[in-house]
Chain A
Amino acid sequence: MTRQQLWRRFNAHLDRPLLIGILLLLLVSLLVLFSADNASIDQALKQMINIGVAFTLMWLIANLPLHYLMRSAIPVYLLGLGLLVGVALFGEISHGARRWLNIGVATIQPSELMKIGVPLMMAWYFEKYEASLGLRHYLVATILLLMPVALIARQPDLGTALLIAASGFYVLFLAGLSWKIIAGLFAGALASAPVLWSMLHDYQRHRILMLFDPSQDALGKGYHTIQATIAVGSGGVLGKGYLNGTQGRLDFLPERTTDFIFAVYAEEFGLIGNLILLGVYLYVIGRGFAITANASTYFTRLMAGSITLTFATYAFVNMGMVSGILPVVGVPLPLVSYGGTSMLTLLLGFGILMSIETHKKLVQT
């Protein structure tokens, strides 16, 4: 094979438009990480390693024919569920929550696996019974969704539980769950809010209360929200300029390389920067929807739609949290926040999208 053929072979299953969007976001990530880490290259370098690992995985998944992916749905789901039970029984506690499982060589966070595992399982299930979908199947799919969500919620990791619930709900929704039932579910959720409230941990309640009045606890729980809002607001239209954000540079912003990285960005690049970032996100999401619309099978449509909507949800929840309209739930800004696990999960999702896009002709024939 010539070098050109090799290159073509390498690129065959990468979706060019999606790749460009992802690379733009990763570029933003590295730039902002450098600023957020006080003009030190350390975190940016580590993030590049994370990106490298995640990219390899994405490439592999993108090249993986879809029937392998479908075949893995049950094992991945069961493994995830088993690990979550393991966490519940033997997990390690950090920051008052039992999220990590020590498997000897490393500690892992099984909830991350379920971000892909749950929609995968549900999409597979709907595909299997596509011809004869009835209410019963929606009920089973809902149970498949609620088991891991319940386990994660009681770790407690409310943010992840809600996001996985959302990704599963998107599958149900796209699979054609009747509007009446959706309306019923919302009514039920609203009605059960007081019950849920009573089940929440103190710190979770505090976070939700803090959303309505962060100044109540300006030095404690409200501090994150207040300082992040100040950073965003003081950025103005044009921003303070790259590396010139005072809130970030002078250490007023907490967790500013991870969950609050958007505050650093918004402070330095202002409303213009925010518009550009929203634009890039919409471009990636739009491409995801295009792939979804073109997908050839029931399974791939559900999967692609769920991945895309979940990605959009992540971006919205993070930016909403940093700008003070959502409670602080510990959701990173997708593809921008520092962190290996979320990078891996996200690019895995994009790998599936790419695989769906690039393998569809093969399936059709």
Chain B
Amino acid sequence: MNSRAELRDSQREISRFQLRLAVGIGFVLVLFGILLVRFFYLQVVRHDYYVTLAENNRISLVPIVPNRGLILDRNGVVLAHNFSGYTLEITPSKVANLEATINDLATLVEISPRDRRRFKKLMIERRNFETLIIRNKLSDEEVARFAAQQFRFPGVEIKARLFRDYPYGEAMAHMLGYIGRINQKDADRLEEAELAANYRGTDYIGKTGLEQFYENELHGTTGFEEVEVDSSGRAIRILSRTAPVSGNTLVLSVDAKLQEVAVQAFGNYRGAMVAIDPTNGEVLAFVSKPGFDPSLFIDGIDPQSWDELNNSPDTPLNNRALRGQYPPGSTIKPFMALTGLHFKTRAPSRTISDPGYFTLPGSSHRYRDWKKEGHGSVDLFKSIVVSCDTYYYGLATELGIDKIYSYLSEFGFGKKTGIDIEGESAGLLPSQEWKAKRYKQKWYPGDTVSVGIGQGYNLVTPMQLAVATAALANNGVVYQPHLVRETRSPNGDKVRKAPQVQTFDARVPAEHQDLVRRAMIAVTQPGGTAVMASAGAPYAIAGKTGTAQVIGIKQGASYNESSVAERHRDHAWFIAYAPAEQPKIALVVLAENGGHGGGTAAPIARKVMDYYLLGKLPDAPVIAPADAEAEND
């Protein structure tokens, strides 16, 4: 090859190479152009989006749980409050041998079988990376003893928590209810009500009673700390803090002392008592016996305690005042009397002759009076005083069920009273329509007869009857009963009074009101059925006894109290208001299996009224325990 050719060759070679290099440079520019577009897209177009993501990464909101609101009685006595205490808690996922660890712990702090059972139940219910309570309310000494040995127990720690405490325990359990751990159902409900954000960090929620009904008032507003966290969730620093607002204080119309007196007055009887201020519907006392220890439920009840409560023949978990439905018995008679007067079916002076039974025209079936031989000549006044059944068999028949239904409705029978606790029963005020729907049967005249003495289809709750009795004391005006009188903001500057709501009005004219009142006063006087109720009382009591049959008595058989098993004995009712001329308190007492109202229920009512009206505390044990059987319960 000559050198010229070689040069030309190499020249061509170089220009070809330059071309390739130019393509290479173009390639690099394209690649960097792609990067540039990508950076512009991420850092300009989508900048806001990524800033949000980065902030979400960085900032964690830590909820600060507000203190739950207090519950006070009408005089400021504390009924529910919070106190801080220490719990011993175990994180099961961090503990190798749980059984051994708990046994070891038991040498330092007392761990009862109940604690162990509750812990086992919590283990099943909750995820095992949560800390679970093994012991509540450690004493200072126990805290110190554990703290010294803590190194031996990885996965076990002491936590400071706020506890809910109910100083009156059983006596108020059915009224106050209790709080408990938020379960899935609660969580779903909160989610639906868009309250879930306010419950972040909250473990407990009102489950029953006032704690449940006023949950929104009591809970308060959750505060938040904005905390900067790293990728492993460790807090680096606090950026801002929004303080929580404690829940509102509930001030009840209930008088704690009155409640205690009432509970004690029941002695060993099961039953219920509701006392109401007839002028405004404020509930003064709300008793359902037996009660239960509400603190058992707060951190999850252990299975054994639950079985005991749930399977007890005394049904302590049943809120009798609110949900117990009983035949009203003779306590319906003053209302029936007013119905008769209202429809002018019976003039006050009209008398009937009572042979001791009533028969429907064209029938031989005898509806018996409680008094075999009869009461003789009976007018409306006497019919209440002696509780004459025959009078009311006739009255009911003359009225017919439609009139009875329409007028008794005006006292609120058959309808929920609207008290501020969930789960109220409506009772039952029967009508033709109801029977057709319920039994697909027509209404028979015989059905009306027994409705007249409160032993037919009709059922009332003690709450309902108390509201009706308050109306009886208040010319037929029915107020919606309420336990909470007012709610106060935590610092007390905002007070909201419960509104006074009139639900019904039976419009009882003064002369009817006066007649029935005089008759009810006479009930508590010698010759009446509840003479024990007002013996020696310096104020006049208007009352009415009643018995609610537990078992039916066959035609022709007679009821012998002493021969009937205690639990099959009749329930005793007593309704009353006092002072009769200017009523300040209206109440209902139901003593289950108490027999006659005058003997068992009326003395309980008397003690409650004495305390409320006179400030007098009962000195002796209230009732001679009905008998040995009752005591054994």
* Same assembly: yes
> Which A residues lie at the B interface, using CB under 8 A?
170, 173-174, 176, 227, 229-237, 246-247, 250-252, 266, 270-271, 274-275, 278, 281-282, 285, 289, 292-293, 298, 301, 305, 308-309, 312-313, 316, 319-320, 323-325
- B43 and A235: CB pair below 8 A? yes
- B20 and A233: CB pair below 8 A? no
- A237 and B44: CB pair below 8 A? yes
What mask results when residues 18 to 52 of chain B are scored 1 for a CB within 8 Å of chain A, else 0? Answer: 10110111011001101110111011101101110
Residues of A within 8 A of B16 (CB): 176
Q: Which of A229, A235, A320 contacts B35 (CB 8 A)?
A: A320
- B31 and A250: CB pair below 8 A? no
- B230 and A251: CB pair below 8 A? yes
- Contact (A271, B38) CB under 8 Å given A233-B49, A246-B58, A250-B230: no
Q: Which 8 A-B pairs have the closest CB atoms?
A: A233-B50, A234-B54, A233-B42, A251-B231, A316-B31, A234-B50, A250-B230, A271-B43
- A174 and B54: CB pair below 8 A? no
- A229 and B42: CB pair below 8 A? yes
Residues of B within 8 A of A278 (CB): 32, 35-36
- B35 and A319: CB pair below 8 A? yes
- B57 and A230: CB pair below 8 A? yes
> Which B residues lie at the A interface, using CB under 8 A?
13, 16-18, 20-21, 23-25, 27-28, 31-32, 34-36, 38-40, 42-44, 46-47, 49-51, 53-55, 57-58, 228-232, 236
Residues of A within 8 A of B17 (CB): 174, 176, 301
Which of B25, B34, B54 counts the most chain A CB atoms within 10 A? B54
- B54 and A231: CB pair below 8 A? yes
5 contacts between A and B (CB under 8 A): A173-B20, A176-B16, A233-B46, A266-B39, A289-B21
Tell me, in angstroms, the Cα distance from A313 to B32 when the chains sit together: 10
Question: Closest chain B residue to A253 by CB distance?
Answer: B231
- B57 and A246: CB pair below 8 A? yes
Residues of B within 8 A of A176 (CB): 16-17, 20
Q: A233-B50, A323-B35 are in contact. List 8 more A-B contacts (CB 8 A).
A: A170-B24, A232-B39, A232-B43, A233-B46, A234-B51, A250-B57, A270-B43, A320-B38
CB distance from A284 to the nearest CB of B (A): 11
- A229 and B50: CB pair below 8 A? yes
- A309 and B24: CB pair below 8 A? yes
Q: Which of B13, B49, B54 contacts A247 (CB 8 A)?
A: B54
- A236 and B43: CB pair below 8 A? yes
Residues of B within 8 A of A235 (CB): 43
Residues of B within 8 A of A281 (CB): 32
Question: Closest chain A residue to B37 by CB distance?
Answer: A325
- B43 and A266: CB pair below 8 A? yes
Residues of A within 8 A of B42 (CB): 229, 232-233, 323-324
Which of B13, B17, B49 counts the most chain A CB atoms within 10 A? B17
- B20 and A274: CB pair below 8 A? no
- Contact (A250, B21) CB under 8 Å given A278-B32, A278-B35, A278-B36: no
- B232 and A325: CB pair below 8 A? no
Tell me, in angstroms, the Cα distance from A325 to B49 when the chains sit together: 18
Which of A234, A236, A252, A305 counts the most chain B CB atoms within 10 A? A234
- A174 and B24: CB pair below 8 A? yes
- B31 and A312: CB pair below 8 A? yes
- Contact (A271, B44) CB under 8 Å given A252-B57, A292-B21, A309-B28: yes
CB distance from A88 to the nearest CB of B (A): 32
- A285 and B28: CB pair below 8 A? yes
Residues of B within 8 A of A247 (CB): 54, 57-58
Question: Closest chain A residue to B42 by CB distance?
Answer: A233
Residues of A within 8 A of B232 (CB): 251
Tell me, in angstroms, the Cα distance from A323 to B39 when the chains sit together: 7
Residues of A within 8 A of B34 (CB): 316, 320, 325
Question: Closest chain A residue to B30 by CB distance?
Answer: A316
Question: Closest chain B residue to A302 by CB distance?
Answer: B17
Tell me, in angstroms, the Cα distance from A275 to B38 when the chains sit together: 12
Residues of A within 8 A of B55 (CB): 246
- A323 and B38: CB pair below 8 A? yes
Tell me, in angstroms, the Cα distance from A320 to B35 when the chains sit together: 7
Question: Closest chain B residue to A246 by CB distance?
Answer: B58
- A316 and B50: CB pair below 8 A? no
- A230 and B54: CB pair below 8 A? yes
Residues of A within 8 A of B229 (CB): 250
Tell me, in angstroms, the Cα distance from A186 to B230 when the chains sit together: 46
Q: Which of B32, B46, B228 contacts A282 (CB 8 A)?
A: B32
Residues of B within 8 A of A305 (CB): 20-21, 24
Question: Closest chain A residue to B6 by CB distance?
Answer: A131
Tell me, in angstroms, the Cα distance from A44 to B36 when the chains sit together: 28
CB distance from B396 to the nearest CB of A (A): 75
- B58 and A250: CB pair below 8 A? yes
- A325 and B24: CB pair below 8 A? no
Residues of A within 8 A of B43 (CB): 232-233, 235-237, 266, 270-271, 274
CB distance from B329 to the nearest CB of A (A): 68
- B57 and A293: CB pair below 8 A? no
- B50 and A252: CB pair below 8 A? no
Tell me, in angstroms, the Cα distance from A180 to B570 when the chains sit together: 109
Which of A230, A281, A320 counts the most chain B CB atoms within 10 A? A230
CB distance from B32 to the nearest CB of A (A): 6
Tell me, in angstroms, the Cα distance from A14 to B127 when the chains sit together: 66
